[in-house]
Amino acid sequence: DLPRPSLSAEPGTVVPLGSHVTFVCRGPVGVQTFRLERESRSTYNDTEDVSQPSPFESEARFRIDSVSEGNAGPYRCIYYKSPKWSDQSDYVELLVKGEDVTWAPPQSQLAPRACPQ
C-alpha cells in the first residue's frame, strides 16, 4: 500500500492577509502528481512539478502569493503514483489574520441575517 503523504505550511499555518504561504506536500520517491485539496474535494490544484529533496522522498510546493480570507480553511494533499492515488494526508488548517481579526471558516452554516441600520 502507498504511504500517506504529509502536508505542512511555510512559514506557518497563521498568515497575515496579503502575505504568501507555501503548502509542501511530501510523499515517497516516484510520485507523478501531487494534488492539494480544499475541504470540498471539488477545489484542488494538481502539479507534476515534483522535486526529490532526499533519496527516500519527493515533494511538491503549492504557493499562494497573496492570501485572502477565501484561502482560509482546511487543506490536505494526495498524490498519484502509478497505478493509483494515495490516501489523503491529515488536514492542515490555514488561518488568515486581517486587521486584528483572525478569519476562520464558520463552524456551522448560519442563515444570513440582515444587519439593523
In a domain, 39, yes or no: yes
In a domain, 106, yes or no: no
Q: Is the pLDDT of residue 101 over 80?
A: no
Measured distance CA(109)–CA(86) in Å, rounded: 31
Confidence band of 114 (pLDDT split at 50, 70, 90):
low
CATH of the domain at 40: 2.60.40.10
Report pTM.
0.81
| Predicted confidence (pLDDT) per residue in 6-55, tens digit | 999 999 999 999 999 999 999 999 999 999 999 766 789 999 999 999 99
In a domain, 107, yes or no: no
Measured distance CA(117)–CA(103) in Å, rounded: 24
* Number of domains within the chain: 1
Q: Can you give the residue range of the structural domain that contains 82? A: 6-97
* Buried-state track 38-63, b at ≥16 Cβ within 10 A, e below 16: eeeeeeeeeeeebeeeeeeebbbebe
